[in-house]
Each structure stands twice: as structure tokens, then as C-alpha cells.
Amino acid sequence: MKTIGLIGGMSWESTATYYRYINEAVRDHLGGLASADVILNSLDFSNVVALQTADRWDEAGVLLGTAGAGLARAGADCVLICTNTMHLVADKVARMSGVPLIDIIDETAAALKADGRSRPLLLATRYTMEQGFYTRRMAAHGIDVLIPEADDRARVHGIIFNELCQGIIQDQSRSLLHEIIAASAERGADSVILGCTEIQLLIDAGELALPGYDSTAIHAAAAVRFALSGGKDEACRAAAERV
């Protein structure tokens, strides 16, 4: 089994979900007491948020790239950035890490394309919805991403940072997201991307008005496929084919 490197802590609420998803999948596919070989560097999210707020993305890229390089030195065979927003600096992190970076946007695009979806609504932080890096990457896969209206973007961003990243789950916020999703169908959306790794803490991708795609689960599954592929152990190879 290959070793998975996680750049986490952004927030730790969703990083904990990554750890659970990855280990549950490995146990399901290998059985018994099997668990994933994982190295985690959990960053102080307050430092990352300060760089985001100040629009200091180059510095944020160096911070995460340094974390990725450290994971590689520690033995990680791949790196995951355990957040959608910080994929804005994914290219720098990949270069500095020197090992394969499993990209959450590419993996989510692949899941959408496999199901014939081409016009998803994106629910995410305002950085992910407004900076353009996400929609451009999706467009390269032939996917036309919709984002909520400005007021709704602000509300979703607030739910993420003021509630979910702090472990707060509120029914009124869940209702608001469901309303935004329902309205998006009238704009031509054919699916929904839970494009912030914390949103799955609030709403279930399988219980939405449109087909939902949980980027956290998709990303974690891709990591497991990588970890179980290409090894000498026949059980790992067979398991990777089933993930």
C-alpha cells in the first residue's frame, strides 16, 4: 500500500472526515483490521485564513508547498490538499512537493462527466466561487459551472467560516442551502457540487433536489485508489479496481 500525505487543518473539521473516509474505504476493500498508511500535516487554519483575507496567495502557496515537501520527505507517495479553496495554489504545492498531487477539482470533474453532468451549481467559499480558478479548471473538462447570486454567495461563505469550520451546525443554514439549490434548477443546473470540504457536514449529497457530488468523499476515494494501485500485493490491486 502506498502512503497518503494529507495537508489538512483547513479546517480540521473536514480533515477529520478525510481521515475517516480514507480509513473506512481501505478497511472495506482489504477487510479485517486494515487501515490506510497516512501522514498528516495539520496546519493552523488561522494562519491560512489571514493570508487568504490579505490576498497573499503566493505566501499561502509557499506555506502549503513546504508542508507538502515535508510530507514527501516523511515518505508520502502522494499529496492531497484537504480543501477546495487552497487548490488555487495547487500548481505550486505540486512543484514543491515533488510527488503526485491528487487534485480535488479534476477528480470531481471526472465524477460529473462519468454521470453525464455538465452544468453543476457550485457551493463553496467565496474564494472558490469568485476567484475563477475552479470554474476555469472545470471548463477545461467541458463543464460549465454555475455559482449562486452575490447575496447567496456571501451567505454560503458565512455559513462555512462562521459555522461549519467552527463545528456549528444550524438547521436554518441547511434550509438556506436547500433553497439555493432548488433555485439553481430553474437556472439550468443539472447537479450540485459540495465544493467546500465542510459542506458535507451540513447537507447530504444524496438528499438534494439535484444530484449531489460530495467533493470530500470524491477526493478521499481518489486517494484510496492511488494508495491501493500499483503495489506488489495482489489484494491491494484487486481492491483498487473496486474503489
Active site residues: 83, 196
Number of other residues whose CB lies within 10 A of the CB of residue 230 = 11
* The C-alpha cell that represents 232 in the structure block: 506488489
The full 3-state SS of 194-224, as one line of letters, equals: ECCCCHHHCCCHHHCCCCEEEHHHHHHHHHH
Q: Strands across the sheet with 191-194, in order? A: 120-123, 191-194, 212-214
* Cα–Cα distance measured from residue 243 to residue 222, given in angstroms and rounded to the nearest whole number: 8
Q: How far is CA 47 from CA 56, 65, 123, 142, 178, in A?
A: 11, 15, 24, 35, 31
d(CA 186, CA 143): 18
